[in-house]
Amino acid sequence: MEFRSKEEFESKIKRVVVTEDEIRAKIAEAGRYIDSIYDGRPILLVSILKGSFVFLADLARAVSVPCEVGFMAAKSYYESTQSSGIVHITMDLDRDISGCHVVIVEDIIDTGRTLADVVKLLKSRNPLSLRVVTLLDKPSRRIVPFEADMPLFTIPDLFVIGYGLDYGEYFRNLPYIAEYGE
The H-assigned helical ranges of the chain are 6-10, 20-38, 53-62, 113-123
Mean pLDDT of 24-47: 97
Domains in the chain, please, with CATH?
Answer: 20-77+85-158 (3.40.50.2020)
DSSP code string of 152-179: EEE--S--EEBTTB-BTTBSTT-SSEEE
Give the contacts of 145 (CB within 8 A, at least 6 positions apart): 112
Question: In this structure, how many other beta carbons lie within 10 angstroms of the beta carbon of residue 138?
Answer: 21
Write out pLDDT tens, residues 133-158: 999 999 999 999 999 999 999 999 99
Q: Is the pLDDT of residue 125 over 50?
A: yes
Q: Is the pLDDT of residue 57 over 60?
A: yes
What was the pLDDT predicted at 59? 98
Write out pLDDT tens, residues 67-119: 999 999 987 654 455 555 667 789 999 999 999 999 999 999 998 988 998 99
Give the contacts of 37 (CB within 8 A, at least 6 positions apart): 131
Catalytic residues: 110
